[in-house]
């Protein structure tokens, strides 16, 4: 039997597959659905398990699957037996009898792996407490449609070293860009992820200085200071205040630098209104491209 194509994390996939998915996203955005892809999706069903809230991921996977000719079922904890203690492994075995691909957003990264280990259909990671690979794929697509290849460019992060930041580290290795992350030392990305990137020859540097990280950057990124599941909001906000992306910090980057934020955003916290609604910002293209790149991911998963 052919190996199941799970889309779990960028460090678990080879660079050529990831490049092909971004290129497919660009082609889907251009309106091209190859006949073989349309045929592959006819009559197929996607299950989306949401154990945390979502606007973009939920709607973009739902709409994307339908545009490809498939159907969608959404499961929440409260509306399924997951909320009453049925195991993720049993859920995987059951859903595999009904659907052709499963998307999951969960608070515990281990649940993603348990789902994949027990499913006989492809599983896609739609955010865990540790990573968010669909987001970074859409972001790379967005950078490239505005500025050409991201390989060799300078990407800078200012803020929490969270799940999105960790996935950018995976991306730096797989797509070959320089990544500088400015984070408070106590909120830096996990050492294991940074060490992996360095072992794999990636150019990744963690600093506590946003001004240093953003100097001459081609792309500036941030994310919320309090992610879903974080409990220490006041402490985080105090630690992260110097990392807010405002106009003065943005001016450290290249004059034509892009600004991205995975959204939802908190204007006045991690980013000022002037930056997110200003001339460098491409956040609406970024949100749109989740739809296109996830079609690429779905098509790759279904071979
Ligand atoms: N960026 C993102 O994943 O948004 P949602 O939480 O709305 O899905
Ligand atoms: N870091 C954020 C991303 C939301 C899309 C969170 O996990 O809540």
Flag whether pLDDT at 34 surpasses 90.
Answer: no
CA of 164 to the centre of ligand 1 (A): 11
- pLDDT of residue 87 exceeding 80, the answer is yes
Q: Which residues contact 82 (CB under 8 A, 6 or more apart)?
A: 49, 51, 75, 88, 91
Spacing, Cα 99 to ligand 1 middle (Å) = 23
Q: How far does the centroid of ligand 1 lie from the alpha carbon of residue 192, in Å?
A: 25
Q: Could you tell me the strand order of the sheet in which 219-222 lies?
A: 204-207, 178-182, 154-158, 219-222, 258-261
Note the pLDDT tens digit of each residue in 140-178: 999 999 999 999 999 999 999 999 999 999 999 999 999
* Predicted local confidence at residue 154, as pLDDT: 99
pLDDT level of residue 32 (50, 70, 90 thresholds): confident
Verify whether ligand 1 is closer than 6 Å to residue 272 (CB atom): no
Tell me which residues are annotated as active site: 105, 132, 135, 223, 262, 290
Residue nearest to atom 7 of ligand 2 (CA): 227
Determine how β-strand 178-182 pairs with β-strand 204-207.
parallel
CB atoms within 10 A of CB 49: 25
Alpha helices in 2-87 (DSSP H): 15-29, 35-41, 56-67
- The pTM of this model reads 0.98
Q: 3-state class of 22 per DSSP? A: helix
Cα separation, 34 vs 197, whole angstroms: 35
Which ligand has the nearest atom to the CA of 106?
2
**DSSP label at residue 230:** -
In this prediction, residue 77 carries a pLDDT of 87
Predicted local confidence at residue 1, as pLDDT: 59
CA–CA distance, 183 with 242 (Å, rounded to integer):
9
| Beta strand 71-76 pairing with 154-158 | unpaired
Cα distances from 219 to residues 93, 179, 275, in angstroms, run 42, 10, 13
């Amino acid at each position: 039997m052919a190996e199941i194509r799970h889309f779990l994390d960028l460090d678990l996939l080879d660079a050529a597959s990831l490049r092909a998915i971004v290129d497919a996203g660009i082609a889907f955005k251009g309106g091209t659905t190859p006949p073989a892809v349309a045929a592959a999706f006819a009559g197929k069903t996607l299950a989306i398990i949401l154990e945390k809230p979502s606007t973009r991921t939920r709607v973009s996977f739902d709409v994307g699957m339908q545009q490809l000719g498939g159907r969608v079922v959404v499961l929440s904890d409260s509306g399924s037996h997951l909320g009453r203690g049925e195991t993720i492994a049993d859920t995987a075995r059951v859903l595999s009898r009904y659907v052709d691909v499963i998307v999951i957003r969960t608070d515990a990264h281990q649940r993603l792996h348990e789902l994949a280990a027990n499913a006989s259909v492809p599983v896609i990671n739609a955010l865990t407490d540790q990573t968010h690979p669909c987001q970074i794929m859409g972001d790379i697509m967005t950078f490239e449609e505005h500025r050409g290849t991201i390989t060799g460019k300078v990407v800078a992060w200012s803020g929490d070293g969270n799940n999105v930041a960790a996935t950018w580290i995976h991306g730096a290795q797989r797509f070959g860009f320089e990544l500088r992350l400015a984070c408070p030392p106590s909120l830096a990305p996990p050492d294991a992820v940074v060490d992996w990137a360095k072992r794999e020859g990636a150019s990744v540097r963690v600093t506590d200085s946003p001004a240093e990280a953003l100097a001459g950057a081609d792309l500036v990124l941030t994310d919320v200071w309090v992610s879903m599941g974080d409990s220490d909001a006041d402490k985080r906000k105090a630690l992260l205040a110097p990392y807010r992306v405002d106009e003065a910090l943005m001016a450290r980057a290249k004059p034509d630098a892009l600004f991205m934020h995975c959204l939802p955003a908190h204007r006045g916290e991690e980013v000022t209104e002037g930056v997110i609604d200003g001339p460098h910002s491409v956040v609406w293209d970024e949100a749109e491209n989740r739809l296109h790149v996830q079609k690429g991911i779905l098509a790759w998963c279904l071979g």
